[in-house]
Amino acid sequence: MLLRDRFEGTRKEKDLRKLAAMLEEGEEECFQHKTLQPFFFKNDPGGIIWQRQAVPPDSILDSWHPWERVQYMDYFNRREERKLEYEKYYHQSFVKKEVGAPQEEWPVPQQKA
């Protein structure tokens, strides 16, 4: 209730210099009353296990045995298509060919049959 009364007391203030000074005083007061040992939940930013989950690289899926891949056939087929699309995009967009170099130096990947 005390804080609300302070807000109500300055509601009609129009002088921006006074408002800026009151804001600085309020921020300083907030800083002075802040706890020295803040509480963080364990999964929150600053918690003890924040971002401890290891994310394996996508290339680990290339080492799967074919018998494992068959169980997720649709996924791996689409993944192979996307890899080919990415390689084609990369070669068209980012690979800089030398002047006078033969075109076969950077072959565009073909669809596997």
The 10s digit of each residue's pLDDT in 38-55 is: 888 998 888 888 888 888
Q: Show the tokens assigned to 56.
A: 């394996």
- Where along the chain do its domains lie? 2-32, 61-97
| Global confidence as pTM | 0.43
- A 10 A CB-CB count for 89 gives 11
Stretch 91-104: mean pLDDT, rounded? 63
CA atoms within 13 A on the CB side of 15: 5
**pLDDT at residue 109, rounded to an integer:** 63
Stretch 88-109: mean pLDDT, rounded? 65
Q: Give the pLDDT confidence of 59-96 residue by residue, as tens digits.
A: 999 999 999 999 999 999 999 999 999 998 888 877 66
56 to each of 16, 43, 77, how far by Cα in Å?
Answer: 54, 20, 20
Q: Please provide the DSSP assignment of 66-110 as one string.
A: HHHHHTTHHHHHHHHHHHHHHHHHHHHHTPPPPTT--GGGSPPPP
In the numeric block, the tokens 């996508």 are attached to 58
**pLDDT at residue 1, rounded to an integer:** 65
- A 10 A CB-CB count for 47 gives 13
